[in-house]
């Protein structure tokens, strides 16, 4: 099932007339089954395609969400763990990290909100030997912002990047998808976080996390490199235009 429902649209993922065969149940022998499948289709010797190693250049100039993803792809260290709840701002993250050194991404599964920061805390507690990055939308961050305090208290080696687009931007897309094309100003105002400004630098500092706001790509590159070089938690607030109006 998909968890979103749109008027007049089916919310299940298997098309009509498509029969589903279960290859192996989660509790069965998954590895053995895949090996048997590889034998059956004579795929044992096939070399899997591997992405060619490459890093994007560091971005320059005024910031966009895409450039933030580019900067992260340019600098994050090998064996990093990325907890991604950047929502609309992170759409190009995988394009910029496809050829990056080996790392793990803990993705948003959807259906809830605020998982990114606590998941980063869990990753950093579990693997103190690996640098952790939390990529967070401003709206999502506010659901579990107290994770910053745990990062400070436990001195977790975590770099939190807040994409402050001053919006629940993705819900504007959802408004369009449900067909509410002529959403009025009251509805739109519910998704706008700009009028009462959230200052993530003050919030981060208040929880004991060294925090900085950046407006240009050059400042961002420098802030990320400093956060990576210094142990303990850091917060970088990036002010970016919203992808959805």
Ligand X SMILES: Cc1ncc(C[n+]2csc(CCOP(=O)(O)OP(=O)(O)O)c2C)c(N)n1
Among 24, 125, 171, 178, binds ligand X (CB under 6 A): 171
| Closer by beta carbon to ligand X, 139 or else 233 | 139
Assess 203 for contact with ligand X (CB under 6 A).
no
Residue whose entry in the numeric block shows the structure tokens 């990093």: 80
Q: Residue 115: which of Mg ion, ligand X, none does it interact with, CB under 5 to 8 A by kind? A: none
Choose the one of Mg ion, ligand X, none that binds residue 170, judging by a C-beta under 5 to 8 angstroms depending on kind. ligand X
Min separation Cβ 87 and ligand X, Å: 3
Among 85, 138, 157, 237, binds Mg ion (CB under 5 A): 138
Distance in angstroms (rounded) separating the CA atoms of residues 232 and 159? 8
Q: Which of 83, 147, 150, 165 binds ligand X (CB under 6 A)?
A: 165
Give how far Cα 76 sits from Cα of 3, 103, 180, Å: 33, 9, 40
Which of these ranges, 55-63, 137-145, 178-186, 223-231, lies near ligand X under the rule CB under 6 A? 137-145
**Is residue 89 close enough to count as binding ligand X by CB under 6 A?**
yes
**By CB under 6 A, is residue 140 in contact with ligand X?**
yes
Q: Rounded to 10 degrees, what is the CA torsion of 98, 158, 121, 169? A: -60
Nearest to 138 by CA among 212, 238, 216: 238
Query: Segment near Mg ion (CB under 5 A), from 148-156, 163-171, 183-191, 226-234?
Result: 163-171
Q: Interface with ligand X includes 180 (CB under 6 A)?
A: no
Tokens 């899997």 -> residue = 48
The CB-of-105 to ligand X minimum distance in angstroms stands at 17
**Residue 142 burial class via C-beta count within 10 angstroms: exposed 0-12, middle 13-18, buried 19 and up:** middle
Residue 116 binding Mg ion, by CB under 5 A: no
Cα 183 to Cα 108: distance, rounded to the nearest angstrom: 27
Binding segment (CB under 6 A) for ligand X, from list 6-14, 122-130, 168-176, 225-233 = 168-176
87 lies in the binding site for ligand X (CB under 6 A): yes
Which of 68, 120, 132, 169 lies at the binding interface for ligand X (CB under 6 A)? 169
Residues that bind Mg ion (CB under 5 A): 137-139, 165, 167
């Amino acid at each position: 099932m998909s968890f979103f429902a749109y008027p007049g649209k089916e919310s299940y993922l298997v098309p009509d007339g498509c029969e589903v065969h279960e290859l192996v149940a989660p509790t069965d022998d998954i590895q053995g089954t895949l090996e048997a499948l590889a034998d059956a289709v004579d795929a044992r010797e096939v070399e899997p395609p591997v992405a060619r190693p490459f890093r994007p250049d560091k971005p320059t100039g005024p910031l966009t969400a895409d450039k933030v993803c580019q900067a992260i792809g340019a600098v994050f260290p090998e064996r990093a763990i990325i907890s991604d709840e950047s929502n609309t701002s992170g759409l190009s993250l995988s394009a910029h990290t496809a050829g990056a050194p080996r790392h793990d991404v803990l993705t948003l599964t959807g259906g809830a909100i605020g998982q990114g920061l606590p998941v980063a805390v869990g990753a950093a507690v579990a693997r103190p030997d690996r640098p952790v990055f939390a990529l967070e939308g401003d709206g999502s961050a506010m659901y579990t912002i107290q994770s910053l305090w745990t990062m400070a208290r436990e001195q977790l080696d975590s770099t939190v990047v807040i994409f402050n687009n001053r919006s629940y931007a993705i819900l504007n897309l959802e408004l369009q998808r449900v067909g509410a094309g002529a959403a009025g100003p009251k509805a739109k105002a519910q998704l706008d976080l700009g009028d009462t400004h959230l200052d993530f630098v003050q919030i981060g500092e208040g929880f004991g996390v060294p925090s900085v706001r950046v407006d240009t790509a050059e400042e961002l590159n420098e802030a990320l490199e400093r956060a990576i070089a210094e142990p303990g938690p850091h917060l970088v607030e990036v002010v970016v235009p919203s992808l959805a109006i």
